[in-house]
Amino acid sequence: MTIQTDVVIVGAGPCGLFQVFELGLLDIKAHVVDSLPQVGGQCSELYPEKPIYDIPALPVCGAQELTDRLMEQIKPFDPVFHLSQTVTELEKLDNGRFRLVTNTGTEFDAGAVVIAAGLGAFAPRRLRARDADAFEGTEIHYKVLNPERLAGKNLVILGGGDSALDWTLELHGKARKITLIHRRAEYRAQPASVSKMKSLVDGETLDEIQGNVRCAIKNEDGSFGGLEIVGADGESFNLDADEVFVFWGLSPNLGPVAEWGLEIEKRHLQVDTEKFQTSVEGIFAVGDINTYPGKKKLILSGFHEGALAAFGIQQYIHPEQKVRLQYTTTSPLMHQRLGVDD
């Protein structure tokens, strides 16, 4: 049976969830498809405990908390989720609507499509040093799931981006010691985070090393014995650690999206900045998967894109209707759609 809907959103990360909200305000119904078994995208899959500091009106918010808040916000609009499914086919029909099919055979007839697939089919860049795979999931990790259990431990954090620096600062003072290892002196993280990290380096609770991992050390009994590091001077040394966290970013793969006939620039979908529409009319893209002049990969930017995309979608699927901007604070119609009692 083919499911008919106004919009299919491909991706249930923060931007896909907020897209549900913006569409709901315009009385546009959505089904959401995601390859992961839960909503939240990479926030929930890789960084559920990661603190986020740039969501308006929330001084600090965990990634999973943000997902939970978004799910609460979209409740009035009754979105339907199709999880653990990947859209493998996308075809524009002669009548301007779209046929989508997932890998499990779920078929949609949609008025428009929003691609909010983040980095596409993503996976963390793995530590491929010798013997590292023997300790993945026990002593070597790619996400922090329970920071409280790390209290008093000797940790090594690998990376130079925001995630590595955020967790270094978050766990400092809780772990017994943290050693941050980056391959070079320059960091990709926010300058304020780098400055704060450097101010805390004391060699006892926090250490900073430029170098690379040669191998994981396997003790005679098979237990984890830390890492062998090659420093910036080319000399190698052993580094004790209870656990290692690798934050080298994600290895993106557009997957089936690359086969849908959309204009692509460096693994990202090209969109306009009026409606965030792709090169195919009726297909929109928001969040990390899109690109345009001045693009910034921020959740905040993705929310803005979703708001404008919603109006573009309304214009596409209801060209006979005049697009009206109404405010949630004063509009009785918005209150009705939100289930708010006046």
Q: Which residues of the chain form CATH 3.50.50.60? A: 2-122+252-338, 125-249
The bridge status of strand 206-218 relative to strand 224-231 is antiparallel
Amino acid at 98: F
Give the pLDDT score at 253: 64
> Tell me: the pLDDT tens digits for 122-142?
567 899 999 999 999 999 999
Phi, psi (degrees; rounded to nearest 5) at 169: -70, -40
Residue 175 near residue 89 (C-beta atoms within 8 A): no
312 versus 62: the higher-pLDDT residue is 312
Give the pLDDT score at 266: 85
Of 3.90.1150.110, 3.40.50.2000, 3.50.50.60, 3.10.20.30, the CATH number of 125-249 is: 3.50.50.60
> Tell me: the pLDDT tens digits for 9-34?
999 999 999 999 999 999 999 999 99
Amino acid at 18: F
Could you tell me the pTM of the whole model? 0.68
Beta carbons within 8 Å of 99's beta carbon, 6+ residues apart: 89, 90, 91, 93, 107, 108, 109
Element containing residue 111 per DSSP (H, E): strand 107-115
> Tell me: the pLDDT tens digits for 81-127?
999 999 999 999 999 999 999 999 999 999 999 999 876 655 678 99
> Tell me: the pLDDT tens digits for 263-301?
999 889 999 999 999 999 999 999 999 999 999 999 999
Phi, psi (degrees; rounded to nearest 5) at 97: -85, 180
Beta carbons within 8 Å of 159's beta carbon, 6+ residues apart: 165, 182, 246, 247, 248, 249
Give the pLDDT score at 122: 58
Of 3.40.1480.10, 3.40.50.10490, 3.30.930.10, 3.50.50.60, the CATH number of 2-122+252-338 is: 3.50.50.60
